[in-house]
Amino acid sequence: MKPAAARTAEPVAAAAQDRERRRLQMADIARLAGVSVSTVSRALSGSTLVNAETRTRVVELAKSLNYTINQGAQNLRLQKNRTIAVVVPYDAASRQHISDPFFLAIVGSLADALTDLGYEMLLSRVDAEKLDSAGAAYDAGRVVGVIIIGQWRHHDQLNGLAARQVPLVVWGAEMPQQLYCTVGGDNHGGGYQATRHLLMGGRRRILFLGNPDLPEVRWRYRGYLDALKEAGIEADPRWLLDVPFEEAAARRRLDQAYQEGLSFDAVVACSDLLALQAVAAVRATGRRVPADVSVTGYDDAPLAAWSDPPLTTVHQPVDEAGRLIVEALLAQLEGQPPRSRTMPVQLVVRKSTVG
């Protein structure tokens, strides 16, 4: 006789295999029929939202693939289901945690927007190396759509989710050959505004703190470079300090830069937390902010206004972002094609750059 644990594991494994088989079959039907997976689901349930010709074609394809309807998932995807998955990936290289003030702000904005429209939010964190798992809740019928906060370095995985017709919106930068919908701030404009502000204040040796391998940071870095070029300044390669969002990483890197004798009079940081670490690193050498070194951040998290000194930073319209992300996802659920949006950002000047 098998142990109890083995007897329990067998049906669980079988159920997981069945879910995976159904997911692949439905994706196959959608591809062959030239429609979305959500349209296939509606057609197989007999929904009148799908025209008769498409319903017939989908049903015939389903029969040819020996597909049987998962009644539980079908029921969840009907009007009774008003749940949206909000996914925060964890990227081992960037090391930005869900406790980051920006993440907390945008999750709160999404929660408000979803609640106002009568939807519930299912919050989860996934490994950024396995972003395709973000679609599991949709495949199982637990949610009707997915919102992912951040692209990280996994553009291809996001394209894969979109290719199999998972209703999806990503907070991030618009990319070439992008199949999925993004809503994000004007990252190039933000990097440009911060750098130009420092240049107008007389700064000429400006460091950039961030990892340009990340799409949003890459655009901020291009804005930084464009502002320097406009001012006739050639960027020193040593001015790029490639640091993750990990706590204390920027402080360690700046301490190292000082030890190496790198001279600078300003810092453009890609988050407010990185900027606050820069302030601490500058002060640890006996220099003053902003008298000796000016520092700008990014995001305009609540802590920026209350830091010492208050932080000059690029404000991202997080409240509006939550609403636009939700609207973009609901438009897809109504059959509209994905439409990406880039939102304007604004530099908020405080005492970290103006004495």
User: In the predicted model, is pLDDT for residue 332 greater than 70?
Assistant: yes
Q: In what order do the strands lie in the sheet with 168-171?
A: 120-127, 83-90, 145-149, 168-171, 181-185, 341-343
DSSP, collapsed to helix, strand or coil, labels residue 30 as helix
DSSP, collapsed to helix, strand or coil, labels residue 168 as strand
Q: How confident is the model at residue 17 (pLDDT cuts 50, 70, 90)?
A: low
Q: What is the pLDDT of residue 264?
A: 96
Q: Give, rounded to a whole angstrom, the gap between the first and last alpha carbons of the chain.
A: 79
Q: What is the pLDDT of residue 31?
A: 83
User: In the predicted model, is pLDDT for residue 111 greater than 50?
Assistant: yes
Average pLDDT over residues 186-197: 98
Q: What is the pLDDT of residue 75?
A: 47
Helix (H) or strand (E) holding 241: strand 240-241
User: In the predicted model, is pLDDT for residue 188 greater than 60?
Assistant: yes
pTM: 0.76
User: In the predicted model, is pLDDT for residue 340 greater than 50?
Assistant: yes
Hey, what are 274's tokens? 């990185």
Q: How confident is the model at residue 59 (pLDDT cuts 50, 70, 90)?
A: confident
Average pLDDT over residues 102-116: 91
pLDDT in tens, 265-300: 999 999 999 999 999 999 999 999 999 999 999 999
> What is the share, in percent, of the chain residues with pLDDT greater than 70?
85
What's the rounded Cα separation, in Å, for the pair 98 and 124? 10
Domains of the chain and CATH, by start: 4-76 (1.10.260.40), 83-185+318-343 (3.40.50.2300), 187-317 (3.40.50.2300)
Q: Do 266 and 206 contact (CB within 8 A), yes or no?
A: yes
User: In the predicted model, is pLDDT for residue 8 greater than 60?
Assistant: no
Prior bond to 309 cis, omega within 30?
A: yes
The neighbour count for residue 48, using CB atoms within 10 Å, is 8
Hey, what are 211's tokens? 């990892």
Q: Mean pLDDT across the chain, nearest whole number? A: 85
Q: What is the pLDDT of residue 20?
A: 54
- Count of residues for the chain? 355
Average pLDDT over residues 229-238: 96
Average pLDDT over residues 10-18: 50
